[in-house]
Amino acid sequence: MSQTRHVPVMLQRCLDLLAPALQAPGPQAPVVVDCTLGLGGHSEALLAAFPSVRLIGLDRDKEALRLSGERLAPYGDRATLVHAVYDELPEVLARLGIPKVQGVLFDLGVSSMQLDEADRGFAYAQDAPLDMRMDQTTGIGAAEVLNTYPPGELVRILRAYGEEKQAKRIVSAIVREREKEPFSNSARLVELIRDSLPQAAKRTGGNPAKRTFQALRIEVNGELSVLERAVPAAVQSLAVGGRIAVLSYHSLEDRLVKQVFAAGAATTAPPGLPVVPERYQPRLKLLTRGAELPTEEEVAENRRAAPARLRGAQRIREEER
């Protein structure tokens, strides 16, 4: 196991954002949900920093649950780990008999473990089977997407999820190559992307395969559609005074989180009312000015923190029934 996988991104800032909600006195122990458990780095810190807290950890990856279970074992029944995708949060809480929670944390994107395990096919830097499923028990892998999707659909995915300007050029090459032999491994795809891009496009923005791999991963795991459901559901599950912190790693995720938070923090009253009735008042208060970035020191210590964007919000009012 490499050490990089043990460094949770923007850890102290996440703890500081959630602290007021997790330290507030109340009749029951505060509950915090780590919606993206991974290897349990953020969860371990939450359990250590807030001794009265009960933690619910969700992950769709069974291997992550096994490893984080070992890590969090010293905390006994304070930690409940569940095999679930994070848009299933309402069902998980209902099953556990928890009406509302005091804190929710999302650390989006691909986990360090998935990047470090070569055979999962997430990393473009090493040759591996093109899988990319976060939950290897369900769904289709990246190779099947590449080999079976119509060209127009592949172009749409690369543009929408990878923000890839050269999508058409790359897809033409993929379609030509898959007719000769179906794709199975990442090295062939990386090489094909390199060969199909103009020189100028190769000079900027790191590995030229990065955007295509991101797009395939988002498609295989349905990440954006899951997130579209998950963030509003998480806001809904917060008690008044509860706080949510979300770490995103690309602009598509961050934009989605920003929209949900902004909508919650806005009044829904028709324009021109002299007094805004309670039911139109904002439900959320924003806790970050825009998205906060990791410090230079943190990026120097943990390069995977570089693209991180952190947003936080607090629930200030119940829904009107």
DSSP assignments along 212-238, one per residue: HHHHHHHHHHTHHHHHHHHHHHHHHHE
* pLDDT, tens digit, 9 for 90 and up, residues 62-73: 888 999 999 999
* pLDDT, tens digit, 9 for 90 and up, residues 144-167: 999 999 999 999 999 999 989 999
61 is known to lie in a ligand binding site: no
pLDDT given at position 5: 47
Q: Quick check: helix, strand or coil at residue 79?
A: strand
The answer to whether residues 301 and 6 touch, using CB atoms and an 8 Å cutoff, is no
42 is known to lie in a ligand binding site: yes
pLDDT at 302 over 50: yes
Superfamily per CATH, domain 118-221:
Putative methyltransferase TM0872, insert domain (1.10.150.170)
Q: State the DSSP H helix or E strand holding residue 81, giving kind and residue range, or none if neither.
A: strand 79-83
Q: Helix, strand, coil: what percent of the chain each, to 5?
A: 50, 15, 35
pLDDT given at position 2: 36
Distance CA 70, CA 163 (A): 38
Domain 3-113+223-315, CATH among 1.10.4100.10, 3.40.630.30, 3.40.50.970, 3.40.50.150: 3.40.50.150
Average pLDDT over residues 129-152: 90
Neighbouring residues of 69: CB distance < 8 A, sequence distance ≥ 6: 40, 81
pLDDT bucket at 136, cuts 50 / 70 / 90: confident
Mean pLDDT of the chain: 89
Please tell me if the domain spanning 3-113+223-315 has the same topology as the one spanning 118-221: no
pLDDT given at position 4: 39
Backbone φ and ψ for 320, nearest 5 degrees, come out as: -75, 135
195 is known to lie in a ligand binding site: no
Q: State the DSSP H helix or E strand holding residue 102, giving kind and residue range, or none if neither.
A: strand 101-107
pLDDT at 261 over 50: yes
* pLDDT, tens digit, 9 for 90 and up, residues 93-107: 999 999 999 999 999
**What are the structural domain ranges in the chain?**
3-113+223-315, 118-221
pLDDT given at position 125: 65
6 is known to lie in a ligand binding site: no
The answer to whether residues 185 and 120 touch, using CB atoms and an 8 Å cutoff, is no
Strands 238-248 and 309-315, sheet pairing: antiparallel
* pLDDT, tens digit, 9 for 90 and up, residues 200-232: 666 666 778 888 998 999 999 888 999 999 999
pLDDT given at position 17: 98
Distance CA 103, CA 32 (A): 4
pLDDT given at position 3: 36
pLDDT at 32 over 80: yes
107 is known to lie in a ligand binding site: yes
Q: Quick check: helix, strand or coil at residue 34?
A: strand
Average pLDDT over residues 118-142: 76
Q: What angle do CA 60, 83, 210 make, to 5 degrees?
A: 10
Q: Quick check: helix, strand or coil at residue 245?
A: strand
